[in-house]
Amino acid sequence: MEAIDYLREMVAIPSTFPNEQKMGEYCQEKLESLGFSVQRIPLEEGRFNIVAKRGENPTLAFMGHMDTVPLYGEWDTDPYQLTEKEGMLYGLGAGDMKGGIAALFSALGSTTAPVMIILTVDEENNSAGAHLLAKNPEIFSGLKLIVAVEPTEHGTDTEGIMLGRRGRAVYQVNVQGTSAHGAHVERGTNAIEKASELVLALRDFPLKTNTNIGDQSLFVREISGANTSLSIPENASFQIDMHLVTDQSDASERERLEEFLQTHYPACTVELFDRGLPYNMPFYTPQDTEGIGLLREIIKEITGDCSFSSGESVADENVFAQFVPAISCGPIGRNYHSANEYVEKRSLLNCAQIYQELIKKW
């Protein structure tokens, strides 16, 4: 099958997390028809990751996620029917990231070389599927490179290689005030006011910049506090959503945040917000890692150029990169997580050829 045919079938299968079951069944059927031994690794009822192998002891793996985000906005086409307009293929998940999986499946039909395929659920939520696989690191034994078929965040018109991604963590800042009667505000310390001052102080927080995966960033995503009776509020809190860069961790930045905020108001503490899963840490894979030079030459042969970049946000690659060098190389598209998502037809076909050549020459 051609990549476009695979993509047409995939887009017609709704797979917004947590409803990936039909997409998983489809992928399993196709991989088995391509000569793979397929293992389901269940996350919960009706949701499972796929780890598929072909050949003895593969050292190259490709990965992708089977879920999409929900429908957002007003679409000009049916989001569950692949629609071609002016060289663009529109549909929910067409770019992020059923297009990459479709190109991969097309490539797999042109060679019988050994390779591993990893397909996850929940990437668009909290990467629960990837973190489940991380509990069994033997899955990655013997692998030398993982290629994610995620769309490449380039800002260019040619396919390329993403060598790393920023990480992410969320922190909760707890602010302690002093209660007093509301008629005598001078006798209390309003925790909501202090929290507001700390939010504004974050404008001066020293962010790390110009790393090999970009700049650190943060924003305040929630603030809360309330009084009881006619009293000055004595408790407030707010949450900071932060993207991490090279040599940073959720623990290191918690310490830095707390030290910084306490210089402005000592009666505050910072803790890592517990989301029930680990956060995805930043990673960078050097250009001289085995296989990257080969992939770059293949891309240049097919498209005429190949650039390196890094991803601005987190993905399942952040999880797997702690075990195996990981990169991303996927088709170009636009409007991810919004209405009228699309993948470029030309790029989809390029990627199918790129993956095919990499598997053959590996």
Residue labelled with tokens 């932060």: 242
Of 272, 298, 330, which residue sits at a domain end?
272
Q: Are residues 267 and 299 in the same domain?
A: no
SS (H, E, C) 192-249: HHHHHHHHHHHHHCCCCCCECCECCEEEEEEEEECCCCCECCCEEEEEEEEEECCCCC
Phi-psi map region of 313: left, alpha, beta (phi>0 left; psi -120 to 50 alpha): beta
d(CA 65, CA 320): 13
225 lies in the same domain as 302 = no
Mapping DSSP to helix (H, G, I), strand (E, B) and coil, where does residue 28 land?
Answer: helix
Q: What is the pLDDT along the chain (362 residues), one digit of tens a residue?
A: 999 999 999 999 999 999 999 999 999 999 999 999 999 999 999 999 999 999 999 999 999 999 999 999 999 999 999 999 999 999 999 999 999 999 999 999 999 999 999 999 999 999 999 999 999 999 999 999 999 999 876 556 678 999 999 999 999 999 999 999 999 999 999 999 999 999 999 999 999 999 999 999 999 999 999 988 999 999 999 999 999 999 999 999 999 999 999 999 999 999 999 999 999 999 999 999 999 999 999 999 999 999 999 999 999 999 999 999 999 999 999 999 999 999 999 999 999 999 999 999 99
Q: Are 180 and 96 in contact (CB under 8 A)?
A: no
**CATH no. for residue 46?**
3.40.630.10
- 338 Cβ contact list (under 8 Å, min separation 6): 72, 73
322 in a structural domain = yes
Quick one: 211 and 249 in the same domain? yes
* Domain boundaries, position 242: 173-272
Compute the residue count for the chain: 362
In a domain, 250, yes or no: yes
Considering the domain architecture, whether residues 349 and 219 belong to the same structural domain is answered as no
Can you give the pTM of this predicted structure? Answer: 0.94
Q: How many helices (H) and strands (E) does the chain have?
A: 9, 17
Same domain, 7 and 44: yes
Let me know if residue 200 belongs to a domain. yes
* Residue 10 forms part of a structural domain: yes
Same domain for 21 and 149, yes or no, is: yes
Regarding whether 264 and 286 lie in a shared domain, the answer is no
Overall number of domains in the chain: 2
The answer to whether 244 and 318 have CB atoms below 8 angstroms apart is: no
In a domain, 277, yes or no: no
Which residues carry out catalysis? 67, 123
